[in-house]
Structure 1
């Protein structure tokens, strides 16, 4: 039986959807989360699903997960999905807390690197597949999300580099460029609220800035289950390298890759109309 470990499997999210999709394909699923009680019961009570506590920022948790997987699979892992991540710094760069920004890089970049290194022996033994979930933000400069954009860009570039490094060792690498997926993550009650300081040069547009983080960008996006099915098809079908997945993924790939700069800027502004919001707010304050 093939095996897969997925990080960030809390209910309602991409990780849980991926876990369900792999389980339906007959995999032994190692569903992990920082808080295991948040993993849906449909997974935790299923056969051939092992729930593990795994804070990807904890070296001891990672080591314990490696030991548990190795013990149950005979030292192999067919698929590792680095899915955990966060977008907790939705603010203009002038207002971002540097310590919080570094923490976001720890979660979105350094943690996947640590996971890849720790599980590499098991992936190599299985001649398996590494899947790194990045974002369309890695290639699109959405305003107010420079930290998230940059951390995902770092992961996307590193993932493609790891692909070249791991290929001679028999490991296939998929770099997911994820577009919109409706997970409800922005509307979770424990999500840290966005606060624009009164000293901000953008304070007049504070309502717009706060609104960007209220979940509206996921409105109309495809459900996580549909996204997960597409990702599993790529893994099962031998996909490798950069793979776009999510809402209108094919169109997004064309738009981001072929659109002239001026038109691309117009596209970005249509998605996050920050320039228009600032102009409107400035007129009101005058």
Structure 2
């Protein structure tokens, strides 16, 4: 028998992360949640114990895993899905000159091509439900945060494609939202493996600064995953489409970004990521 509640499939629902927070809030709001994880044992007790949650062993980088998820959802819903929320993603902090090309391709596979594969696979269910696609991108899609060019570019690709899909899928009755996410405290940097800077790097002298970013400092002023998820739920239910800024300070940041000239925007970026300051300090040390 098909589930009676509205349905949502969320990828990357590991406890302590954005996906886990989203899953718990949509569950709280009355949805049946299909929670996708590569390892379901990493779901929170709230998700594990609920009869309104279906844990899916889902690796978005494997076609056969996506196919299996489609079959499972189809069986339980009668072939409909109200919301597909592509949340899975990864980050990479390293200067563009030093990023191994293979690592960069892996970043795009996870942050861009995986959502494409999910959308194509679940399109029939979404069209039947006249549903909604929500893609979790990042403010880095428009904000040129130093040392994160591959991440920025992969999220920009997803944001741009999402806004195009908004137009393409509207005649089919499917709404598309691209979340420009900012300022959320998660456990994303816990046990995260750093990519070592080569000794030949032009940025070798600021390596400690680069490695230090892995301590999660960029999330220090962010909101909780629950607060973020509540905001996302509100945006989804409000009927918005297209690129939507969500997260700690998102409203002011959006206003400032489009209003300020580039010089002031660069100053804002520098205040968050003092890259130029660190490079200047390293240059001064060489002169002493």
Deviates more, 1:69-78 or 1:41-50: 41-50
Match status 1:144 vs 2:147: yes
* TM-score between both structures, scaled by the size of structure 2: 0.97
Match status 1:110 vs 2:87: no
* TM-score between both structures, scaled by the size of structure 1: 0.97
Tell me the CA shift for residue 14 of structure 1: 0.6
Where structure 2 has 5 or more consecutive residues not aligned to the other structure, the ranges are none
Q: Distance in 2 between matches of 1:237 and 1:254?
A: 20
Number of residue equivalences = 283
Indicate the residue corresponding to 2:46 in structure 1: 42
- Residues 32-91 of structure 1: CA distance to partner in whole angstroms, max 9, x if unpaired? 11111111121011111000010100000000000000000000000000000000x211
Where structure 1 has 5 or more consecutive residues not aligned to the other structure, the ranges are none
Tell me the CA shift for residue 285 of structure 1: 2.9
Indicate the residue corresponding to 1:96 in structure 2: 99
Q: Distance in 2 between matches of 1:184 and 1:38?
A: 13
Report the CA distance shift for 1:201/1:194 in structure 2 as closer, same or farther (over 3 A). same
Query: Among residues 49, 73, 77, which one is paired with 1:73 in the alignment?
Result: 77
Equivalent residues in 2 for 1:65-214, closer than 5 Å: 65-87=69-91, 89-186=92-189, 188-189=190-191, 191-214=192-215
**RMSD over aligned Cα atoms:** 0.8
The answer to whether the 8 Å contact 1:194/1:213 transfers is no
Indicate the residue corresponding to 1:23 in structure 2: 27
Q: Distance in 2 between matches of 1:236 and 1:83?
A: 18
Moved segments of 4+, more than 6 Å: none
Tell me the CA shift for residue 179 of structure 1: 0.8
Match status 1:33 vs 2:37: yes
The answer to whether the 8 Å contact 1:62/1:118 transfers is yes
